Structure 1
Amino acid sequence: MEFRGLGFVPLFIAFWCTAWVAVSYTLTVIYGHAPLLMYISDTGNYYPEKITFKIGFLGMSNANLFLALLLYNFILLHAEAFGARQPMIQKILLAMGITSCIGTAVMSVFETAFYPVTHGVGAIFAFACGCVYNLWQAILLYKVPGIRRAICHIRMASSAMAFIGVITFSGCQLSVFTKLCIGDYAKISEIVSIGTEWSMLLLILIYILTCFEPMQQLSLTVSWKGYTICKRENQDSAV
């Protein structure tokens, strides 16, 4: 079986993420399990929204892992545009992408209401590794031919802003946890944290959508012997 053009992968991930977040948030508000202004994780503490939360996060974790593997192969298929160290760099980036996906899975299994420390550690790895991975790949994709410069700019802007968001979010969380902020300042810090978290989700979705063009350049052939990923314009170049 051959799939010519894999642009449907980032489109599916974006649709999946938007759908489960919207459903989980709506159910949380309807059942009054959290206020309107809530962390994303607050949509997975109680039934029935806990079900959509877990399914959604686990599905997103696996889908993002697949996308990271595709990007890994995509960059290596354009190795001529990079230096000799690119294969090693891509292995490091792939490891970061996998770590981010594992952190996402941990977030889904251990909800914040009952396992706050484990959930928090998973969130740190998911967002931090994911944003560094996205930013690094966004820089590298500038060198790949056949991708519109405007898309590269959008990818870079969303990745950079998400990276800044991770720093802001971590700073706010740390200030509250260490009680550096109390009273009204703690409340402001919490509001900033919530807003930053939702903004990071939106920016990550934008980054995923910008992967449509590079994914369209790939062809995936699957058989009982395994799989092969090639450039669409040159089916003899395989990784």
Structure 2
Amino acid sequence: MSSQTWLHFLPLSVFFIFPATFLITYCISVLLGHTEPDFPYISDTGTYSPESCIFGQAVNMGACLVGLTVYVRYRQIAELYQTHSTQSNILRANRAAAFFGYISALGMSLSANFQETNVISVHLVGAIMAFGGGTLYLWLQAVCSYETHPLLNSMGVAHLRLGLGIMSASFFVLGCVCAGIAHSLFDGVDPRKWYPSNGGWTYHVISTASEWICASTFAIFMLTLVPEFRRVSLNSPEIFIDLETLSITSIHEACNSIESNGGGLASRSISDESLGRALIPQNGDRDSRQVIVVDDVVGDVVS
């Protein structure tokens, strides 16, 4: 089994893909006049095509990377404490963190694929899952980081992650409250083009700024995982195939079907090893056997 040591690229990719995506879609949406340059929501930059296509595809890729990162982080802590029965608290926190991490990744995909102008209810649910789940994930990871000190991380890293969790929670709540107030006071035509003359402008700015800061805390947290993931390796999974269910009768019937359809059959002698153990020895006999093959595919055992 080969060992993979490239896992640190997972959180590093997450750190780059989301800011790059938001910057690209922001520039496109502003240049095309789909949104105003002053304090738009992140999702406002990916509402209309063509930027919505880029936004959806990139965020889906990022969500997959987040899910993989969450899984590796979960396994890292689980493997570290699997023989320590007294550390049940961190194991529970680790499982809860993985759950909310997956919820956050799913929410990212939902909010990107269901634009606010198409299915607003699903978009809002996805946004709450992404930011709310991400905030809980940061808090639980901060708890785990204090427990894993000094085995995996320094105390400074634990303090940093706690600070990111506090920031994320604070701005998540602030953003939700101000967004509700801003939309209740909005008296314009299109919320994607919110001007200072429209009602609720101040609350709108606070809400959008909070959203961008909240997203930034999640990206910075991912960056803190890079040094730890450099010391983690992953073995390629083993694949097992139950060949006992492959009966000689079924092979013979398949060959007859091919022959009845005009397929050409050729006979040759090959060994079990050359078949890659695709045929199971009968009565312990591992001698070469006569088989019928169709275009190098094993067809039937003659003898």
| TM class, shorter-length | 0.7 to 0.9
- Structure 1 counterpart of 2:215: 201
Map 1:67-106 to 2 at 5 A.
67-79=69-81, 80=84, 83-106=87-110
Kindly indicate whether the alpha-carbon contact (under 8 Å) linking 2:142 and 2:165 is maintained by their aligned counterparts in 1. yes
Alignment match of 2:59 (pick from 35, 50, 57): 57
- Please give the per-residue CA displacement for 1:79-125, whole angstroms capped at 9, x wherever unaligned: 24962243333222222111111111110110012222211111011
User: What TM-score does the superposition give when structure 1 sets the normalisation length?
Assistant: 0.86
Higher RCO, 1 vs 2 (CA within 8 Å, ≥6 residues apart) = 1
- Structure 2 counterpart of 1:212: 226
CA distance in 2, matches of 1:161, 1:90: 21
Kindly indicate whether the alpha-carbon contact (under 8 Å) linking 1:181 and 1:189 is maintained by their aligned counterparts in 2. no
Kindly indicate whether the alpha-carbon contact (under 8 Å) linking 2:167 and 2:217 is maintained by their aligned counterparts in 1. yes
- Structure 2 counterpart of 1:162: 168
CA distance in 1, matches of 2:3, 2:52: 37
* Structure 2 alignment gaps of length 5 or more: 188-196, 241-303
Kindly indicate whether the alpha-carbon contact (under 8 Å) linking 1:16 and 1:56 is maintained by their aligned counterparts in 2. yes
Say which one has the larger Rg.
2
- Please give the per-residue CA displacement for 1:121-169, whole angstroms capped at 9, x wherever unaligned: 1101110111111111122112211412222222221221011111111
Higher deviation after alignment, 136-145 or 201-210: 136-145
- Structure 2 counterpart of 1:189: 203
- Structure 1 counterpart of 2:115: 111
Distance 1:181 1:146, change over 3 A: same
**What SS is found at the alignment partner of 2:203?**
helix
Task: Report how far residue 196 of structure 1 moved.
Answer: 0.6
1:22 matched to 2:23: yes
Kindly indicate whether the alpha-carbon contact (under 8 Å) linking 1:147 and 1:214 is maintained by their aligned counterparts in 2. yes
- Structure 1 counterpart of 2:13: 12
- Structure 2 counterpart of 1:149: 155
Give me the identity figure in percent: 23
* Structure 1 alignment gaps of length 5 or more: 227-239
Higher deviation after alignment, 189-198 or 154-163: 154-163
Structure number having the greater helix percentage:
1
Kindly indicate whether the alpha-carbon contact (under 8 Å) linking 2:141 and 2:161 is maintained by their aligned counterparts in 1. no
Kindly indicate whether the alpha-carbon contact (under 8 Å) linking 1:2 and 1:220 is maintained by their aligned counterparts in 2. yes
Kindly indicate whether the alpha-carbon contact (under 8 Å) linking 1:82 and 1:143 is maintained by their aligned counterparts in 2. no
Distance 1:82 1:41, change over 3 A: farther
Task: Report how far residue 184 of structure 1 moved.
Answer: 7.1
Q: C-alpha root-mean-square deviation of aligned residues, in Å?
A: 2.2
- Please give the per-residue CA displacement for 1:6-62, whole angstroms capped at 9, x wherever unaligned: 222111111111221111111111111100121100111111111110011111111
Moved over 6 A (4+): 180-185
Aligned residue-pair number: 225
**What SS is found at the alignment partner of 1:194?**
helix
- Structure 2 counterpart of 1:33: 34
User: What TM-score does the superposition give when structure 2 sets the normalisation length?
Assistant: 0.69
Kindly indicate whether the alpha-carbon contact (under 8 Å) linking 2:138 and 2:164 is maintained by their aligned counterparts in 1. no
- Please give the per-residue CA displacement for 1:210-231, whole angstroms capped at 9, x wherever unaligned: 11122122111114429xxxxx
Map 1:227-238 to 2 at 5 A.
none
- Structure 1 counterpart of 2:179: 173
Kindly indicate whether the alpha-carbon contact (under 8 Å) linking 2:131 and 2:215 is maintained by their aligned counterparts in 1. no
Higher deviation after alignment, 141-150 or 180-189: 180-189
Kindly indicate whether the alpha-carbon contact (under 8 Å) linking 1:131 and 1:159 is maintained by their aligned counterparts in 2. yes
